Chain A
Amino acid sequence: MLDKLFAAPADTLHQLVQIGSAADSSLFVTIMKTFSSWAVPVLIFLIIILGWYKKVKVYETFIEGAKDGFNVAVKIIPYLVAILVAIGMFRASGAMDVFVALLSPLTNLIGMPAETLPVAIMRPLSGSGALGIVTELMKQHGPDSFIGRLASTMWGSSETTFYVVAVYFGSVGIRRVRHSIAAGLIGDTVGLVMAVIICRLVFG
Chain B
Amino acid sequence: MNYIWLGLMVIALVVGAINGRIDAVTKAAVDNAAAAVEIALGLIGIMTLWLGIMKIAEKGGIIRILSRAIRPLARFLFPTIPSDHPAIGAMLMNLIANWLGLGNAATPLGLKAMEELQKLNKSTDTATNDMATFLALNTATICLIPMTVIAVRAQLGSANPFEIISTTILASTCATIAGVTAVKLLQRLPSIKKSDPNHQENISPSKEEGHHVG
By a beta-carbon cutoff of 8 Å, the part of chain A in contact with chain B is 13, 16-17, 20-21, 24-25, 28-29, 32-33, 35-36, 39-40, 43-44, 46-48, 50-54, 56, 58, 61-70, 72-74, 76-77, 80-95, 98, 124, 131, 134-135, 138-139, 142-144, 148-149, 152-162, 164-165, 167-169, 171-184, 186-192, 194-195, 198-199, 202-203
CA separation between A28 and B145, bound complex, in Å? 10
B77 at the interface (CB under 8 A from A): no
CB nearest neighbor in A for B59 = A56
CB distance from B78 to the nearest CB of A (A): 14
Contact B140 A188 (CB under 8 A): yes
Interface locus among B37-45, B68-76, B203-211? B37-45
Q: Across the interface, do B135 and A165 meet the contact criterion of CB distance under 8 Å?
A: yes
> Dominant SS at the A interface?
helix
Q: Is the CB of B176 within 8 A of A66?
A: no
Q: How far is the CA of A192 from the CA of B160 in the complex (A)?
A: 22
B53 partner residues in chain A, CB cutoff 8 A? 44, 47-48, 62, 65
Complex-state Cα separation, A27 to B214, whole angstroms? 53
15 residue pairs from A and B, CB less than 8 Å apart = A17-B166, A36-B102, A64-B52, A66-B51, A80-B36, A89-B28, A93-B19, A149-B163, A155-B149, A156-B143, A179-B192, A182-B182, A183-B183, A188-B175, A191-B172
Residues of A within 8 A of B172 (CB): 156-158, 191
* Whole-angstrom CA separation of A183 from B110 in the bound complex: 18
> Separation in Å of the B11 CB from the closest CB of chain A?
5
